[in-house]
Amino acid sequence: MIGAPILYSFRRCPYAMRARMALWAAGITVELREVKLAAKPPELAAASSKATVPVLVLVDGTVIDESLAIMRWALAQNDPGEWLAGNDAALIAANDGPFKHHLDRAKYPGRYEEDGVTDHRAAALAMLTPLEARLADAPFLCGGKRSVTDIALFPFIRQFAHIDREWFAAQPLPRLQDWLEQLIASDLFAAIMPKFLPWKAGDTQIQFGP
């Protein structure tokens, strides 16, 4: 595959998931390089000093190493679903900031130095209540069809739900639960979740795209 962007990714990383979903929706084929987080290839660090996925290296050498920037770049090239029409920057910032803070601490108790007072699962759940209310008026977070906001939040809400699926299913969030299940069951999500072996220099290129 000549002249394709290179995407460093990790299958289960929520940031990488949303980047792959946007690239796929935009119809952009990339050379996928699956990263093993415990043994990152030196090429990843050479491309971005952050050395965290996702990282997109364009054909001209431009490096985009933020998942939202990758999403917006991809959709600026081609946005057949008009995802960018539903770009709620404040909601995405709340997801990437305080919700992610509570999610990490609910998912990995004991990993972080805390005061022992905050119930992070309850705090994260409280941030989902406004989404439930929003979905009362439309099937997606910004209206009648899927948007960049839905895809930006989806992998993180999925991760939160999977901490304890029975507990999450018992919460009074029927619309959000339906929204989540619809995205999990979507052809788009299935398309971006195949398993690949970690990449190393010299491996056969993996063409990833619709």
Distance of CA 30 to the CA centre of its chain: 17
Contacts of 85 (CB under 8 A, 6+ apart): 142, 147
Q: Is the pLDDT of residue 118 over 90?
A: no
CA dist 85 → 143, 145, 148, 178 (Å): 10, 10, 8, 22
Q: What is the DSSP letter of 102?
A: H
pLDDT of residue 112: 73
With bands split at pLDDT 50, 70 and 90, how would you rate the model's confidence at 3? confident
With bands split at pLDDT 50, 70 and 90, how would you rate the model's confidence at 205? very high
Return the number of other C-beta atoms located less than 10 Å from residue 148's C-beta. 29
In the chain, at which residue ranges do the beta strands (DSSP E only) sit?
Answer: 6-9, 30-34, 55-57, 63-64, 207-208
Structural domains in the chain?
A: 6-81+190-208 (3.40.30.10), 83-186 (1.20.1050.10)
Q: Is the pLDDT of residue 158 over 60?
A: yes
Contacts of 107 (CB under 8 A, 6+ apart): 159, 160, 163
Token pair, residue 128, equals: 């989902």
Q: Report the alpha-carbon distance of residue 38 to residue 25 in Å, rounded.
A: 30
pLDDT of residue 73: 98
Q: Is the pLDDT of residue 15 over 90?
A: yes
- List, for residues 53-89, the tens digit of each pLDDT value: 999 999 999 999 999 999 999 999 999 999 999 999 9
Total-model pTM: 0.94
pLDDT of residue 1: 52
Q: What is the mean pLDDT of residues 190-205?
A: 96
Cis peptide before 54 (omega within 30 of 0): yes
